[in-house]
Structure 1
Amino acid sequence: MDDPEDLSRLLKKLKSYEGRPAGSGRGKDPVNAPMIRHWCEAMGDANPAYAGTDPIAPPTMLQAWTMGGLSGPAGRATAYAELLALLDSAGCTAVVATDCEQEYLRPLRPGDVITYEAVIESVSARKTTKLGTGHFVTTRMDVRAGGELAGTHRFRILKYAPAKSDRASAAARPRPVVNRDNAGFWDGVAQRKLLIQRCDACAVLRFPWLPGCGGCGSPEWTAVEASGAGTVFSYVVMHHPPFPAFDPPYAVVLIELAEGVRMISNVTGIAPERVRIGMPVELEFVRVDGGQLLPVFRAPAARVAR
């Protein structure tokens, strides 16, 4: 669809969905300590505020209390489904989640009964990205506890028509985003060093790089070099969707370093189907297209030959 008049008519239809309901309902369970504990164990978050006799829920759990599980959400709205169907009919058959934003207004505590209302907040004009051309759709969910607004969750997707494959650029990988918070890490990579942060106040190690300590809040820290030894904490083998820069199947791995922090990387020297949780790995640096140096992890030779 490239005719300007057709595009204008489509955008007018898409815009008519702004402000319409995208779902509402009541959380299937009140806020409760077991779910808080399971979440913190999975995330490795030992903040004492989330434990004890009077815990609060981690703020990032905001949307978790509204999820419907395998049986689906408590309330559905047809407007959102209609909007997605309209985009499908316009050729925007692919979808990718782009980002989410959360605003926390008050802590949630065990016993709080959660209700939520979601609306289609905005539909963008036609946008062209490397993935293809389409429209960004933003939904806003207002989460309430006992009728009081506790937080807002915005979720944004791109519904797009996939761009045609360009073999000339097939080898180009996305480049890491370097900013003032993580520039020291990439400076270390350039020197073939894997640097993590140590809080100057409480000595807790952390990764990825952050401007302040998540435990004590101190903004003072020191960069320390990791040994490079680690184990596979978790992993997923990617088969689909294909991405021009990578050749599936490949393993995306969560590595637990000997120092106790975790980082996402790749494991080399072994077929992806042979990666296992608990497998020891060793740091190495590899250059990819354009000379970009990246830290990855190699399975020991004895493991590969087995």
Structure 2
Amino acid sequence: MADYEWLSEVRSMVGREYGRIYAWDEVNPAMVRQWCEVMGVDNPLYTDPDYAATTEFGEIVAPPAMLQAWCLEGLHMNNYPPGSTDENPYEVLGLIEAQGYPAVVAVNSELTFDRYVRMGEKLYYTTLIKEVSEEKTTALGTGFFVTQVMSFFSEKPEGDEKVGELLFRVIKFKPAQQPKPVEKSESAVPKIKRPRPGISDDTRFFWEGCEAGELRIQHCKSCNRLQHPPAPVCSHCQSFELDYQISKGKGELYSFVVMHYPEVPPFEYPNPIGLIQLDEGVRIPAGLTGINPADLEIGQRVEVEFQTFDDELTLPLFRPASA
């Protein structure tokens, strides 16, 4: 069992408690409803005020499993509300990493609850470094288990009240030596093909048109309007009387994006993708070809070009219109 000199600094952090991380918002019905929708939770205690009024709580409460969600920073990393600590409770992992343990994997997450949280409560949590293990060797590699405990509190005029706790454990480790992969000849590596579209009775006419070199747009015989993508019913008048018309394949670039990363074979990068406003009045997303992505401009004229991939998949791409 190794006992490195640098471990003394790491072990000195065990028992340290880091300051408060506040919630951006009070516990509120809107966020509870959205969380329940995403998680598939249909308990009326969380979303139905009339039902909740008949229970021992007298009002809706937040799902206990939602506890951690209230104090998350949101879309941007470390974007915590004013008053939150600027201390880094994960600095112990940085110290271990600096000694040659670069990898990390979460191994335990245990959430416990003291009581239900009610609407209008404002929460925060503190973080305690509970334990750093001796050096361990696992199937993943050799490293240290680090255990943290986040304690959640509700602010109260008479004194803050603990409402739950999250124990979180990771292993910070040196990956085990992996066997070298067996080299394969280039001919033995399977060629990755373009993904095939899902073809249904509603879309078959479109893909058959691509094979025939025709850009077919769905047409409603009842209201004489076009729509794309194809659907089983007209989005304008809800008629089922649908056929198609052949577009001239000309239009302008309504919008575009250029994909740089991640690079997914077999596509070439940078990969420009446009939203084309056809002269017939509908928009169609498609790959762009024959132009440097840096030269793309909103509103420029484009025209369709059918290209066949893997000798079996024909797609409509758009290139700058010829003069």
TM-score between the two structures when normalised by the length of structure 1: 0.51
CA distance in 2, matches of 1:113, 1:103: 18
Alignment of 1:101-250 (within 5 A): 101-146=110-155, 147-166=160-179
Q: Which amino acid aligns with 1:163?
A: A
Aligned pair count reads 173
CA distance in 2, matches of 1:14, 1:144: 27
**RMSD of the TM alignment (CA)?**
2.9
Q: Is 2:63 aligned against 1:58?
A: yes
Match of 2:21 among 6, 22, 25: 25
CA distance in 1, matches of 2:19, 2:142: 27
| 1:27–1:67 Cα contact (<8 Å) kept | yes
CA distance in 2, matches of 1:91, 1:8: 12
CA distance in 1, matches of 2:19, 2:71: 11
1:207-256 residue CA offsets vs partner (Å, 9 max, x unmatched): xxxxxxxxxxxxxxxxxxxxxxxxxxxxxxxx99xxxxxxxx8xxxxxxx
Q: Is 2:86 aligned against 1:73?
A: no
Q: Which amino acid aligns with 1:96?
A: V
Going from structure 1 to structure 2, the CA distance change for 1:116 and 1:80 (only over 3 Å counts) comes to closer
| 1:99–1:156 Cα contact (<8 Å) kept | yes
| 2:89–2:127 Cα contact (<8 Å) kept | no
In our comparison, the structure showing a higher alpha carbon Rg is 2
| 1:20–1:79 Cα contact (<8 Å) kept | no
Q: Which runs of 5+ in 1 are unaligned?
A: 169-238, 241-248, 250-304
Partner residue, 2:33: 37
Deviation at 1:22, TM superposition (A): 3.7
Deviation at 1:131, TM superposition (A): 1.2
Deviation at 1:97, TM superposition (A): 1.3
Q: Which runs of 5+ in 2 are unaligned?
A: 50-58, 182-260, 265-312, 315-323
| 1:14–1:83 Cα contact (<8 Å) kept | yes
Going from structure 1 to structure 2, the CA distance change for 1:107 and 1:35 (only over 3 Å counts) comes to same
SS at match of 2:152: strand
Q: Which amino acid aligns with 1:148?
A: E
Relative to its length, the structure with more helix (as a share) is 1
CA distance in 2, matches of 1:67, 1:121: 21
CA distance in 2, matches of 1:57, 1:79: 28
SS at match of 2:104: strand
CA distance in 2, matches of 1:77, 1:15: 22
Going from structure 1 to structure 2, the CA distance change for 1:79 and 1:64 (only over 3 Å counts) comes to closer
CA distance in 2, matches of 1:155, 1:76: 19
| 1:30–1:110 Cα contact (<8 Å) kept | yes
1:165-187 residue CA offsets vs partner (Å, 9 max, x unmatched): 1359xxxxxxxxxxxxxxxxxxx
Deviation at 1:78, TM superposition (A): 3.8
| 1:21–1:77 Cα contact (<8 Å) kept | no
CA distance in 2, matches of 1:80, 1:135: 16
SS at match of 1:9: coil
